[in-house]
Structure 1
Amino acid sequence: MGTVLASAAALVATVCAEAAELAGTNRSGVTSAVKTGVESCSSAELLTLTATAATCLRGAAALKLRADVRGIGSNNNSVGTSTTSIHKDTTLRVRLPCGSVRLRKVAVFPQCDRVVLRLGKKHLHGAFSTYKNYEVLDVSSNGGDVVVDGMVLFPLVLRTAAGVVQLLLDSQMHCKVWKNAIEGILSDQNVKHAKL
């Protein structure tokens, strides 16, 4: 039982150390935490260590997402840090090509030689989702705002092969971050396409 407990403690400590280093923690703090984890003697200590690690990892993920949305990063490259947040499904109000405004899960990412806008729709209270992909041709923001359901939102206009899609963001800053990130992805794809 002691060997199993020791290897479990070492595994938890190693996973936490890797996550902490990725989050930007200094090496001495990580080394201290790993030593504490490896020295765990009882199942109660291991359970406490695991629960604490899980809480810390969730907190680090939440802080990283906030930093990505605000364009803050350790490398001072707001486009690079913000692109990670738009690859994930983010719930936004979207004006579809047909003109209706709907709540959708939104992701923008490169795929082969094009940039794809993926809009997800939940069915049966989230039991499953369906997705529709749009090829993004151009992005712009008109600098104005629109009122939807009594809320002031800032549109980001995406010209797609299927028509115009507007992402309705809650602040001018989010609109700027998304616009810069999508422009960055489009320019990367254009550079790759030009090299071929």
Structure 2
Amino acid sequence: MLTTLSKTLIALALVSSALSAGATVQTAPAHVYTAQLSGASEEPPNASPGRGSATVGFDIGTHTLTIDVSFSGLLGNSTNAHIHCCTALPEQGTAGVATMTPSFTGFPSGVTSGTYHHVFDTSLASTWNNGFVNSHGGIAGAEAALLAALDNGQAYFNIHSSFATGGEIRGFLQPVPEPGELAMLAVGMPLLLALARRRRRD
């Protein structure tokens, strides 16, 4: 049986091997966040068997918001989807809609499963909910507020449906480690391996 430490060391060893073999680590063009969507994550929770995943890339420098979503098993037909921001505490509570209303452009409607990909220009007012922009003093303030909330687990992706108009499945978006952070972990691999060997001998 592999221990958690062993699994971590193996994963880091793979990264280290890739780096030493000359593999290049590309610099991510944006901060990336992911969420697993479920009815249990809604507030209040519901019994939907629906599941989904959302990946959001956000780059203030280039004013791009990239949305990739897949979902299935909804009890109702999808009606709209948004990013909500910003809750008072990480991964808790509810918040107003930050992104465009009534829904993301082209998001699958009237279905129980689907996929979605779109890149938005966050310098445009049409990307945002007017109320969110106004409450943050303009588009630049809205961008900064959303980035801070994403970094702190205070924004969530929500898919609404005819079964649950307030949201059938949702998930709080969490930061994905940047490639540079993985590279730093790989640099520390020799020390971690040495410590693991010493523990086995003791």
Q: Same fold (TM over 0.5)?
A: no
Higher helix share: 1
Structure 2 length-normalised TM: 0.26
Structure possessing the higher radius of gyration over alpha carbons: 1
Higher relative contact order (CA 8 A, sep 6+): 2
Structure 1 length-normalised TM: 0.27
